[in-house]
Homo-oligomer: A and B are copies of this chain.
Amino acid sequence: MLHVVIMAGGSGTRFWPESRRERPKQFLKLAGERSLLQGTFDRCLPLVAPEQVWVVTNAVQAGQTRQQLPEIPAGNVVIEPCARNTAPCIGLAAVRLLHQDPDAVMAVLPADHVIQPPEVFRGALESASELVAADGSRLVLFGVPPNHPATGFGYIERGEAVADSKNAWQVASFREKPDRKTAEEYVRSGRFYWNCGIFVWRADRILKAIQAHEPEMHDRLQQLASVVGTADWEASLSEQFPQMNSISIDYAVLEREAGICVLEAAYQWDDVGSWHAMPRLIGADDDGNTVIGRHRGIDTKDCIVRTTGDHLVATLGLEGCIVVHTADATLVARTDDENAIKKLVELIRDEGDERFL
């Protein structure tokens, strides 16, 4: 049966002051009435029942995760004792799924991306399930056809077509974030996809791959598998999980494994990396301004303004700025450097202003 595993343990300082330690990006309502996490959940229905949706998160965010997704069983919220990157996270989810469903197929989704339209996404999910049903050894990645030469994403190069599919290919290579010129070549070639971090595979298959490439991690996962559903689970998790190698599934498995498929997933995809994504998500007005909330401006161009409650943000002679007002903190930034906000948050932490983090 197809299960969805949503990875939702991010910190998301790039959306400060809206995002905080206890309110990371996936909980924010950036592009509508539903948060990114809720949007990720909604997008899977009705293809997957709420009982087949799992969320892996951390202890701090578990409460809010359950609050935002009351539809899923409380036990489907899996809590990592600490952050160990995606390989241990996915291994942990696989162990939990197999305990309930030995034939589990898992679709692994990031919690904080925006995908449109949902029908196309569900279509891709169905195609991937069929690929895995036809051959249980397959590891399927979703590849988004690039619509511009982005330098901030990883790319997947496709090779030979998969025989029983008209939109799946063997993966020829993974390419890290390219420079501009290389990205343009990728787009022109028609053979490259954006790696959007969505995977579909059988739970037992990914555990076998982990066994092959990260045997120690696999041993620890087997320890956990032996106590799922028992009183020893918590203690074993606290002991085993922190000792696992902190490594991404990409490095641990995908780049080392042969026979990985990429499925062309022709939806609009945005990783919502920073405030700069807002114009893409909700559009801009004639002056290039993207506004959420109450705003008045004169001589204001290419700005992103977000304000909460009834608070008014008024701007004058402002160009290319981000203004984000929250109840206790306001950000005013003029920057093309998406990492700069991270530095600002670090400064605030270093100055001891804990309550703003």
Interface residues of chain A, those whose CB is within 8 Å of chain B, are 16-17, 296, 298-299, 307, 310-319, 321, 323, 325, 328-335, 337, 340-341, 343-344, 347-348, 351, 353, 356
On whether A330 and B353 interact (CB within 8 A), knowing A296-B348, A347-B298, the answer reads no
B residues within 8 A CB of A337? 317
Give the Cβ gap from A334 to chain B, nearest Cβ, in Å: 4
Residue contact A347 to B310, C-beta cutoff 8 Å: no
Residue contact B331 to A314, C-beta cutoff 8 Å: yes
Give the Cβ gap from A104 to chain B, nearest Cβ, in Å: 45
> SS class of chain A's interface: helix, strand, loop or mixed?
mixed
Give the Cβ gap from A86 to chain B, nearest Cβ, in Å: 30
Residue contact A332 to B315, C-beta cutoff 8 Å: yes
Give the Cβ gap from A274 to chain B, nearest Cβ, in Å: 12
B residues within 8 A CB of A329? 311-314
B residues within 8 A CB of A299? 335, 340
Residue contact B353 to A335, C-beta cutoff 8 Å: no
Residue contact A344 to B296, C-beta cutoff 8 Å: yes
Give the Cβ gap from A290 to chain B, nearest Cβ, in Å: 15
B residues within 8 A CB of A328? 310-312
Report the Cα distance A90→B328, complex, angstroms: 45
List 6 tightest A-B contacts by C-beta distance, closest first. A316-B333, A317-B335, A312-B329, A317-B334, A315-B332, A313-B330
Residue contact A333 to B348, C-beta cutoff 8 Å: no
Give the Cβ gap from A211 to chain B, nearest Cβ, in Å: 46
A sample of 20 cross-chain residue pairs with beta-carbon separation below 8 angstroms, ordered by A number, consists of A296-B353, A298-B340, A298-B343, A299-B335, A311-B329, A311-B330, A312-B328, A312-B353, A312-B356, A313-B330, A314-B329, A314-B332, A314-B344, A314-B348, A315-B333, A316-B340, A316-B341, A317-B333, A321-B332, A323-B332
Report the Cα distance A348→B356, complex, angstroms: 30
Report the Cα distance A328→B294, complex, angstroms: 11
